[in-house]
Structure 1
Amino acid sequence: MEKWTSADKIEILKGIEVFREAKSETLDTLADCFSVRQYKKNEHIFKDKDECSSLYLVKSGLVSLYKMSSQGEKKVIFILGKGKMINEVVLQGLPSSISCDAFEPSEILCWNKDKFLHIMSQDFNLTKGVLRSLSLKTRRLYRQLKNTSNSVRADKRIAAKLWKLSGDYGVACEKGICIDMDLSITYLADMLGSQRETVSRQIKILKEHGLVGIEDKKFIVYDREKLASYFKEP
């Protein structure tokens, strides 16, 4: 782990949305009591039904939250990047209801959940930040429920997912927006709860429409507005 001064730690926290409105003394306290853990790609941070005593936040890298079906199929719920809180629900004091692993090598900030709750009780702005983080996840879940409905064509579901990922993790490139993550068709299928073969066929359709491409194992969205129009059209 890097050797950070208290000032370094506070600057790290200031750059994270959930702490942006917290009082300066709150940041001082939070900076004094977090630890940093490093995870390799595919390494578990916690598993479904684990008794989890820590609150986690992504400092760098990407992590995935997922559930396993009764048939043993993986369904990815979220991929979370830098600055995102991972498991706010741990503050409820119940076992974890989801699994989390590192989508790529990641550094995670960790707080004891009881200590964090106490700090929240002293600063309502911090509490609002945590509530906003939870609310954002809830809204994303609502959209996912809509987009994973059987009434929505598979190609449109995939188009909507790639559009969202290009907004969250996209970087400008010569041909459009490159989704800057190691996203395989298999993992995309896990995110959609679909079979790999189905997703592969639908990706081919999107390619034929000139909406997306794959280069150097990266998805490229050629025009986000056209992709949005595609999955929104009746």
Structure 2
Amino acid sequence: MADSWEFLRQVPVFAGLNPEELQHIASLALRRRYRKNMYIFMEGEPGDAIYFVTRGAIKLFQVLEDGREKILHFVREGEIFAEVLLFEGGLYPATAQTLEDTEVGIIRNADMEELLSRHGEMAVKIIKVMSRRLRQAQNHIRDLALKGAYGRLASSLLQLARQYGKPREDGVTIDLNLSQQELASLIGTSRETVARILSDFKRLGTVEVERQRITIIEPEKLREW
């Protein structure tokens, strides 16, 4: 990635570093390209690197005992993932799969730790990412325990809009191509249930759905759910 170090300016973890420092990081990073639906790593595999998305999007998920998929996070351009293994190493706790054609940068943990030893502000930013992911996981557990399917989907759509929303004149479009099955895996229900709820949300004028892109038209109605 040495020839594209300027992209690193867009990654919040690296924000604030000067061009020389960014060039150094870029010289350590590998670039890999993946087609849609390809696996970057699998749950249970040993991990020794931190990743960041330079183009595209991925999902992180676990496979439950009954074979169903449980989506944990979505990751878009400029975001890091697999940071949980940075400080202790070990096995990947989840599988990373592309949602579309995707390009990622990869930095070995040993190289990343050396960088963090010289740039404490980067360590703080990574800890903030980990803290945010933990908070999201806690909220997700709460939603699964306390809310019905309508409430869980409404809550998830609002959170996705906050993270990946692109404003337009009549609402906010979630900038991810999400199938009904992926939404079902995210909120712990069936694809048929998600289809029925989205149909109700559309009928009420709350959302629009076009080619797997969801636009929230009336966020207050979703909050009521």
Q: TM-score, normalised by structure 2?
A: 0.91
Structure 1 ranges of 4+ moved more than 6 A: none
Q: Which residue does the alignment assign to 1:80? A: 75
Conserved in 1, the CA contact under 8 Å of 2:33 and 2:102?
yes
- From 121, 134, 153, the equivalent of 2:117 is 121
Question: Is 1:66 aligned to 2:66, yes or no?
Answer: no
Conserved in 1, the CA contact under 8 Å of 2:149 and 2:187?
no
1:106, CA displacement in angstroms? 0.8
- From 140, 163, 166, the equivalent of 1:171 is 166
Cα distance in structure 1, aligned partners of 2:208 and 2:221: 14
Unaligned ranges ≥5, structure 1: none
- From 84, 87, 100, the equivalent of 2:96 is 100
The 3 A distance-change label for structure 1 pair 129 and 217 is closer
Conserved in 2, the CA contact under 8 Å of 1:63 and 1:100?
yes
Deviations 1:94-143 (Å, cap 9, x if unpaired)? 11111111111111011111111111112211111111111111111122
1:172, CA displacement in angstroms? 3.1
**Which secondary structure state, in structure 1, belongs to the residue aligned with residue 96 of structure 2?**
strand
Cα distance in structure 2, aligned partners of 1:94 and 1:105: 28
Q: Which residue does the alignment assign to 1:224? A: 219
Conserved in 1, the CA contact under 8 Å of 2:171 and 2:216?
yes
Q: Which residue does the alignment assign to 1:186? A: 181
Could you tell which deviates more after superposition, 217-226 or 116-125?
217-226
Conserved in 1, the CA contact under 8 Å of 2:2 and 2:23?
no
Conserved in 2, the CA contact under 8 Å of 1:26 and 1:123?
no
**Which secondary structure state, in structure 1, belongs to the residue aligned with residue 81 of structure 2?**
coil
**Which secondary structure state, in structure 1, belongs to the residue aligned with residue 80 of structure 2?**
coil
RMSD of equivalent CA atoms: 1.9
Cα distance in structure 1, aligned partners of 2:161 and 2:198: 15
The 3 A distance-change label for structure 1 pair 95 and 87 is same
Conserved in 1, the CA contact under 8 Å of 2:2 and 2:27?
no
1:63, CA displacement in angstroms? 0.6
Q: Which residue does the alignment assign to 1:33? A: 28
1:44, CA displacement in angstroms? 0.5
1:226, CA displacement in angstroms? 3.3
Cα distance in structure 1, aligned partners of 2:178 and 2:10: 27
Could you tell which deviates more after superposition, 58-67 or 164-173?
164-173
Cα distance in structure 2, aligned partners of 1:217 and 1:113: 35
- From 39, 52, 56, the equivalent of 2:51 is 56
Cα distance in structure 1, aligned partners of 2:172 and 2:152: 19
Counterpart code for 1:17: P
Conserved in 1, the CA contact under 8 Å of 2:83 and 2:126?
yes
Unaligned ranges ≥5, structure 2: none
Counting matched residue pairs gives 224
Work out the percentage of aligned pairs sharing the same amino acid: 25
Conserved in 2, the CA contact under 8 Å of 1:23 and 1:123?
no
